[in-house]
Amino acid sequence: MDQKFISLFDRYTHGGMSRRAFLDRLTALAGSAAAVTALLSVLDNNYASAAVVPEADSRLQLAEVEIVPGIAGYLALPKEHTGKLPSVLIVHENRGLNPHIKDIARRVALEGFLAFGADYLAPKGGTPADEDKARDMIGQLLAADVLAYSLAAAKALRGHQGTNGKVGALGFCWGGGQVNALAVADPELSAGVAYYGMQPKGEDVAKIKAPLLLHYAGLDERTNAGIKDFEAALKADTKAYEIHLYEGANHAFNNDTNTARYDKAAADLAWGRTIGFLKKYLA
């Protein structure tokens, strides 16, 4: 697909324009309504293809829960395990706790973790089915409230009776930025993995205690603009970190429900690195 269509879609998904304005611009670029229909079939997320690990997988225990009052989401853990499990807080993209992120939680759980996909829109009534509405709701959240939610979720997972007390955080897009913010604010975080997430301020990097794994897409100019300064600050403070840039990949390359941006080679490589990193620091 021509990169101009993907770039336009990225502007739209990150709040740069309304759905109507996006469709008008897409029509102007594509040249016809028929072309727009074809493009939308690969640009929009298709959650019918979300289940890499089906909800009916007999190896897993799954539940929509409040792990503590006010902190709600999707809990996944392996049914057959011995001892206490390390836990992973999963932070969704700017479309809320959708079927794709629940599938990510199931994938993480099958690797031997207690996985909790937090719903950051729970205080507003929960993630709606309408993705545009979810994006708008997330855009109205206050940074301080989001961070407080992350801190409360991490604390709850540390104290969960089924865990070993170690908590890692895994986030995508908006969620990747929130993982970086949590790493700054929570000295007890055991590991952080951020996929194409916005970087914290340079002066805040010194507060980070957790080792970080940072995945970036080579074509993601908006997010990548902050990599150089972030890495310089990490190096200056001798932080434990890994940065991987996936050349030729678009923002959201891990999201396999989006045909236009999904990059299987990059996603598989990043996923292997992610699971290895979490096992290294949370076991």
- Residues 79 and 151 occupy one common structural domain: yes
Looking at residue 216, what is its pLDDT? 98
pLDDT attached to residue 15: 76
Q: Which residue, 44, 61, 79, sits at the end of a domain?
A: 44
Q: Based on the fold, state whether residues 13 and 59 are members of the same structural domain.
A: no
pLDDT digits (tens, 9 = 90+) for 137-170: 999 999 999 999 999 999 999 999 999 999 999 9
Q: Residues 246-270: what's their mean pLDDT?
A: 95
**What is the band of 204 on the pLDDT scale with cuts at 50, 70, 90?**
very high
| Strand 71-78 with 85-91, pairing | unpaired
Q: Which of 11, 28, 44 is the last residue of a domain?
A: 44
Is it the case that residue 218 has pLDDT exceeding 90? yes
Asked if 39 and 73 sit in the same domain, the reply is no
Better-scored residue on pLDDT, 22 or 168:
168
| pLDDT-derived band at 191, boundaries 50, 70, 90 | very high
Q: Residues 6, 116: one domain?
A: no
Mean pLDDT of 3-29: 86
Asked if residue 30 has pLDDT above 70, the reply is yes
Q: Over 70: is that where the pLDDT of 206 sits?
A: yes
Whether residues 68 and 118 share a domain: the answer is yes
Choose the weakest-confidence range: 26-35, 153-162, 178-187, 250-259: 26-35
Q: In the prediction, which pLDDT does 251 show? A: 95
User: Is residue 177 within 8 Å of 203, Cβ to Cβ?
Assistant: no
Residue 185 in tokens = 């604010």
pLDDT of residue 210: 98
Instruction: Check: CB of residue 120 under 8 Å from CB of residue 74.
Output: no
| Percentage with pLDDT > 90 across the chain | 78
**pLDDT one-digit tens code per residue, 219-241:** 999 999 999 999 999 999 999 99
Amino acid 154: pLDDT: 98
Over residues 170-174, the mean pLDDT reads 98
pLDDT at 146: 98
What is the pLDDT averaged over residues 22-44?
A: 87
Mean predicted lDDT score pLDDT of the chain: 94
Same domain, 28 and 167: no
Statement to judge: residues 90 and 9 lie in one domain: no
Looking at residue 176, which CATH number applies to its domain? 3.40.50.1820
Section 177-205 average pLDDT: 97
Domain shared by 40 and 132, yes or no? no
18 pLDDT more than 90: no
> At 140, phi and psi to the nearest 5?
-90, -10
Calpha distance 224→198 (Å, rounded) = 8
What is the spatial distance between Cα 240 and Cα 252, in angstroms, rounded to a whole number?
Answer: 25
* Residues 274/212, Cβ–Cβ less than 8 Å: no
Q: How far is it, in rounded angstroms, from Cα 164 to Cα 155?
A: 12
Say how many domains are in the chain. Answer: 2
- Is there a single domain that holds both residue 122 and residue 222? yes
Residues 130 and 147 in one domain: yes
Tell me what pLDDT residue 81 has: 87
40 and 158 both lie in a single domain: no
Q: How confident is the model at residue 49 (pLDDT cuts 50, 70, 90)?
A: low
Name the pLDDT band for 58 (thresholds 50, 70, 90): very high
pLDDT of residue 17: 82
Q: Are residues 176 and 160 in the same domain?
A: yes
Write out the residue range of the structural domain in which residue 35 sits. 1-44
Find the mean pLDDT for residues 81-87: 92
d(CA 49, CA 99): 9
